[in-house]
Structure formats: C-alpha cells, structure tokens
A and B are shown apart, each in its own frame.
Chain A
Amino acid sequence: MSIRATVISEIQKVAQDDKRSLAPLTDDLVLLDSGLNSLAIAILVARLEDALGFDPFTESRDAAYPVTVGDFVRFYEDAAEAHRVASQRVG
C-alpha cells in the first residue's frame, strides 16, 4: 500500500472508531477541520507509527508541520523517503 493510501485509510479508521463523521478528504482540507480533534490526530500519529515504523513529528527535519490533508500526506511521504535513503546508506 502506498504511503498516501495508508495515511488516508488510517484517518478513516480513527474517525470510524471515534464515531466521528469526516469531511471529504481533499488535499486542501485543513486537517483540524476534517472532523478529527487534536486527540484523534494524536491517535492517528501513533497508529501511523505502528503501521509505517516512524513518527515524523518527533524527528529533526527542516519541515513545517502539516496543515492540510495534502500537507499531512506529503509530510509522511517525505519522511518515508528520508528513511529509505538513510537505510540505503546504512546497508
């Protein structure tokens, strides 16, 4: 599954578990306006760490925090790429 698909799927699962209705997940939708509150987003970040093996919010990267759904997906895509490059260097 692509990073984008994983992120979108986890957003939908968190909303479903919390019985929250989600706005249509377009790239320009502000994540905090999607129907997820800050606690739900914290749960989302923890689940994505389980699924992907990293948490870009705790890593030192020169990247602004994501505001929209599109930013959020790219935030994880960029972190995944950084991890792939780093693991190649180690290997």
Chain B
Amino acid sequence: MKTPPRLIESLRNALANAPELPPRFLRGVSATVRVGDLVSGTSLGGRLGELAGRSVLVATRDQLSAALALIELDGVARRLVVVTPDLPAEHVSIVSAKAHADAIVSDREGEDGLPISLRVFSTGTVVATNGTPPANRQTEWVLLTSGTTGAPKLVSHTTATLTAAIADSPGPRTDVVWGTFYDIRRYGGLQIFFRAVLGRASLVLSDANEPPGHYLARLAAHAVTHVSGTPSHWRRALMTPEARAIAPRYVRLSGEIADQGILSALRCLYPQANVGHAFASTEAGVAFEVNDGLEGFPAHMVGASGDVHIEVVDGSLRIRSPRCATGYVGEEPSTLTDDEGFVDSRAAFRSWRQPCPY
C-alpha cells in the first residue's frame, strides 16, 4: 500500500501547486487558523522536534487544538494516540499505559496523574517557526473504540488505512467548506478531518459544549458546503431554526445506521444536496457508502469484487478491505480479524437490504 505524504506536506504541496486559490481555514469556536500560516508555523510551541519518534497522547479539550497537533505530528511521532474528549481520567491512564505513551499534548492546566515527563502545551493558535522539520517517519494512529462500558480498546491504523476511502483527486472545486457534528477524534469525524485536509477544503469545527443551533449558525456564516454527522446529530439539528440557514451540497450520515425517516427529512430540507450515508467502524474502517437516498445498503455489495470484500455469515457481516485497522494495541493480536483478515460486524448486517428470497 502506498504511504501517503505527511499531512503537513499535503497542505504545503497544495499551496505551492495552486497559490492563486483562495485561502483555506481551520475554524474552531473561538479561534481560526489560516492553513498557509500552519505550514510555516507551529501550535506546539516549536517543540515538534522533542516529540519526534515518541508515542504521543493528543489529549486536548479543544477540537481545533487537536486538529493542529494531529497535522503537525503526523509523520513525526512514532505513535499518535487520539484521545476522545470525554474519556474519564481513569481510562486515560489505562490508554496511556497500553500505548506506552511517553509524551502528551494537552491544553489542560493542572495535574492529570499520568507518569509522562514530556508535556507540550497547545494553545490552539499558530506562531511562525523557522525550526528544521524532524525526519519523516511512518506514524501509527491509535483510535479509541466508543463502547459504553469499560475502558476503550486501542485500535491501530496507518495514514494509508485511514485515507483509503478518500478519492485520490480532490477534484476541481476549491470552495468546499466542511462541517462535522461528529468530533474528529472519533473515526467518523476523523474521516471528515482527512477529507478536508487532503481535499483542499476549509473545516469548521464544533465545540463540545456548543448548542447545535449555534454551530449551524457558524456553518452558515462560513458558507458550509459539506456537512457530516450521525443520524442523532441530524435529528437534533433539523429541529433548530438555524438548520434552515445552511444550503449544503453534500450531507453525510455515519456512526449509526440511518433510517429512511432521517434520510427523507434531510432530502426534504436540502433538496439541492446529495444525501449519503456510510457504514464505518473504528475496526472495519469505511465499509460502504450509499448515495441513492435509501436506507440500508444494496444486496449486490455483498460478494462484489473490488477493494472492499463483504461476506454474510450467520447474521453478521464480515468486512475485509485496505481501510480495516491493522490491529489492537495491548490486546491479543488475533482478536481484530479472523484468519482470512475479515473484521466481523453485526451492526452492519442490520443495515443490509437483503435480497428478496422469492
């Protein structure tokens, strides 16, 4: 599998190849960073070199701070552990130990009890730097599962597996502005982060405490064109008056199975938009994307040839693709996939438009 360039290199190359294009931005709730400033600056206080080759916890409260750190650290850190913002402190300790973390990037003041000596404070802003960039290396991305009980599992990906579902060419449009209700530190949100960074788009990020109406108003103010969220996010968003203020060209649902009710409601409110839904999990990656406006995924996808192999076995879907995670960290290596490299998903099975038996 081809190793993609570092994220910061992708941003730099895009700017160099098309300097005439309008500026791109990463926007948080209280700060905005111009991509052109990021490629020649740092949000890590110029301490990127110290983080090179380390297993780094990215554990910020603020989403924009996390985005900036992930861009800078990709291709520099040996392992990037993407900590979800609502993870309880006792679980952060478990995650840190399993990942053998030896550095942390955080925007929180105060003692966290973690036995990590190298600590880098992120301010969520970018300052110019003329430091020499550290040597390029492949970074292991570690994402956390979102189970409701117990400590999360640590799921290992590479930049290649995380971006395998994203088309190579960003296309001719340069006015794409992404918004995501889904936090970029979860798999579904991270897909949007990569789409925006690699697709020459701007990205407007929400805050964990921000009401959906307020976020939608910011999306409208920045002329959002592509918006992603779970069906639950969308159900709540569509009941706010501010949902009428945006006119996206593309609406995406992932993270939960989308029923026909929410797909139809989105089509009704945004008749100009393509409404698509995807099934993805942290372990299986993006298994399929459906853009016909109907719930479920077509039966013909099972057994079809292509990058993604889907099989149905005993009420479960088995998925094997270049988008699948490479393994768990701190668990038995054989537990993620079976002997043939398939990841098992009962949740995906519920979304299958089973062929009529008659």
A residues at B contact (CB < 8 Å): 30-32, 38, 41, 55-67
Contacts and interface: CB of A to CB of B under 8 A. Distances in A.
B265 interface: yes
Chain B residues touching A, range: 10 to 19
B108 to A, nearest CB: 27
B239 A63 contact: no
5 contacts: A38-B236, A57-B261, A58-B260, A60-B261, A63-B264
Given A61-B264, A64-B268, A31 B259 contact: no
A56 B260 CA distance: 11
B235 A57 contact: yes
The 7 closest A-B pairs by CB, nearest first: A65-B238, A60-B260, A58-B261, A60-B264, A38-B236, A64-B269, A65-B265
Contact of A58 (B240, B259, B269): B259
B268 A32 contact: no
Nearest to A60: B260
Contacts of A32: 213, 236, 239-240
B171 interface: no
Nearest to A41: B239
B239 A66 contact: yes
A65 B239 contact: yes
Contacts of B241: 30, 67
Nearest to A65: B238
Nearest to A31: B239
Interface string B261-284: 111110111000000000000000
A66 B238 CA distance: 8
Contacts of B264: 60-63
Main secondary structure of the interface of A (DSSP, over half): loop
A25 B320 CA distance: 52
Contacts of B213: 32
Main secondary structure of the interface of B (DSSP, over half): helix
A57 B236 CA distance: 11
Interface string B227-248: 0000000011011110110000
A41 B244 CA distance: 20
A57 B268 CA distance: 13
Interface of B: 213, 235-236, 238-241, 243-244, 259-265, 267-269
A62 B268 contact: yes
Contacts of A58: 259-261
Given A32-B213, A57-B261, A62 B267 contact: yes
A31 B240 CA distance: 8
A64 B240 contact: no
Contacts of B265: 57, 63-65
Contacts of B261: 55-61
A66 B244 CA distance: 12
Contacts of B263: 60
Contacts of B267: 62
A66 B260 CA distance: 16
Nearest to B236: A38
A72 B235 CA distance: 13
Contacts of A55: 261
Nearest to B234: A65
A55 B260 CA distance: 12
Contacts of B236: 32, 38
B235 A63 contact: no
Given A38-B236, A59-B261, 15 more contacts: A41-B239, A57-B261, A57-B262, A58-B260, A60-B264, A62-B264, A62-B268, A63-B264, A63-B268, A64-B269, A65-B235, A65-B243, A65-B265, A66-B239, A67-B241
